[in-house]
Chain A
Amino acid sequence: MRFLETFFNGTVIAKYTPDIIVAMGITLALSVAIIISGIVFGAVLAGLRSFQVRPLTLLIVLFADLMRALPPLVVILILFFGLPSVGLLMPDWLVLYLVLSLVLAAFAEEIFWAGLTAVTRGQWEAGRATGLSFTQVLTNIAFPQAWRMGIPPLVNRALAITKMTALGSVIGVKEILSVASSAQSFSGSATPLTMAAVAYMLIFIPAVIASRWIERRFHYKT
């Protein structure tokens, strides 16, 4: 009884459900935006890297290594508390969106790059021998294959990073965890946190199922 009262308090649920639903919208919107920009930017970086221009490659590798090495929360805090002192004021959600997009881009770049290097030399030669330019082979032949090879790790990474939107609670983004955690303070009940867990499941279980479908959809035999 005490357990139910703590985690599934009916009046608390009724009171905070609307807030949690709004927060779910914010988490969902942030996640979608992060996945799209992270993957697109990562793809662009991997594409640029394939041109093998030394200074550019160096910059890309540095960026990818840095963003993969640093805990995202550290970067979020640095930007959120540091930037205002140099006169750059960014809303909390923008900081969260930017940092997580960049982290995902760093991982996506490495995944795409691994895929590009796994495309055989024969594929490149077949393309070039038919008069296609380097860029045409890259975009029409190499990249689509790298994309298919990259989908399983990319999906995993995208899920892991969108779950990090919960880090927004530290800087006050009104996403699920943040809203639940202040509701918990006001109500003195752990129930809003349970609601948060359920909300995350409502978003991410369909996402996991969708990711399985995507993996199957793009799978092909070589």
Chain B
Amino acid sequence: MNARRYMLEVRGLGKTFGETEVLKAIDLNVSEGELVFIIGPSGSGKSTMLRCCNRLEEPTSGAILIDNARITDIPRRDLDRMRLNVGMVFQGFHLYPHMSVIKNVILAQIKALKRPADEARQRGMELLDQVGLGHKADAMPSELSGGQQQRVAIARALALDPKVMLFDEPTSALDPELVGSVLKVMKDLRDKGMTMLVVSHEMAFAREAADRVVFMDGGYVVEAGTPDEIFGNPKSDRLKSFLSRVSGGAH
């Protein structure tokens, strides 16, 4: 694992909203093909950190590198091209409600990636098949369950062939019985070698699928390690108390 190069590096990342310091010098690396899980109480800055990685949020200080390119140095008007390398999946899916499933997956391929329409469609169908929704290509988002919508959102992000995938609480808005299908897609993705950074409360999934787990609290990375280290042998009191509070999901 250590021999692999870093696909995503976060160096001394700071973020303040007005007077509030949300992130205080975050350091974090994700190697190529690695799945890194970020856990922590709400308000700990996990989502903000993730959103800085494609500059939906502007970092106040520090640097972020994606495949060795400093994305924090890119002028605002050139962000669009960088974002093609960084796929993002949101808690609320955010499929475009006025477009069919396949059009959701095709839109950015054509408009942002400038892929020819037939090629975009072919790639879109491949990815819909991969997330198990090839048969829903012509359905409207409102006709899908939450879990299906989230899988389409994953396909939409993957369609741009990103180098890194960011997941911002991808299963938090789902009914419990729908969570499994989304996690399965994420696990398949990991097995295919995608580099992934995941903010989530699915502790069982973290244990099973994560290469490393990072615990954030109060704008700091408090502890990081393998799932066994984090869940089996937590060192800091803050992590211990956090785990005891969420222990329902840990087993």
Contacts and interface: CB of A to CB of B under 8 A. Distances in A.
B80 A148 contact: no
B94 interface: yes
Given A144-B98, A145-B98, A220-B142, A133 B80 contact: yes
Nearest to A121: B94
A66 B81 CA distance: 42
B88 A129 contact: yes
Interface of B: 54, 56, 79-81, 83-84, 86-88, 90, 92, 94-98, 107-108, 111-113, 140, 142, 153, 156-157, 160
Nearest to B108: A130
A129 to B, nearest CB: 4
A28 interface: no
A85 B171 CA distance: 69
A136 B111 contact: yes
Nearest to A123: B94
Contacts of B56: 125, 128-129
A148 B95 CA distance: 16
A120 B94 contact: yes
Given A131-B80, A131-B160, A221-B142, A140 B94 contact: no
6 contacts: A125-B56, A126-B156, A127-B96, A128-B56, A128-B79, A132-B80
A131 B94 CA distance: 15
A122 B98 contact: no
B94 A122 contact: yes
A11 interface: no
Given A126-B94, A129-B83, 4 more contacts: A129-B87, A130-B156, A131-B108, A136-B111
Contacts of B87: 129-130
Contact of A145 (B97, B108, B140): B97
Contacts, number: 72
Interface in A83-99: none
Nearest to A145: B98
Q: Which of A129, A133, A141 has the most B CB atoms < 10 Å from its CB? A: A129
A220 B97 contact: yes
Q: Main SS of chain A's interface residues? A: helix
A14 B81 CA distance: 70
A185 interface: no
Interface of A: 120, 122-123, 125-133, 136, 140-141, 144-145, 148, 220-222
A222 B142 CA distance: 6
A140 B87 CA distance: 19
Give the 3 A-B residue pairs with the shortest CB-CB distance, closest first: A130-B108, A131-B112, A126-B94
Contact of A126 (B79, B86, B96, B98): B96
B96 A132 contact: no
A82 B142 CA distance: 54
A120 B96 CA distance: 11
Contacts of B140: 220-221
Contacts of B79: 128
A127 B153 CA distance: 11
Q: Which of A126, A140, A145, A148 has the most B CB atoms < 10 Å from its CB? A: A126
Contacts of B80: 128, 131-133
A144 B113 CA distance: 21
Contacts of B90: 122, 125-126
A141 B142 contact: no
B98 A148 contact: yes
Given A140-B107, A220-B140, A222-B142, A131 B113 contact: yes
Contacts of A148: 98
Contacts of B112: 130-133, 136
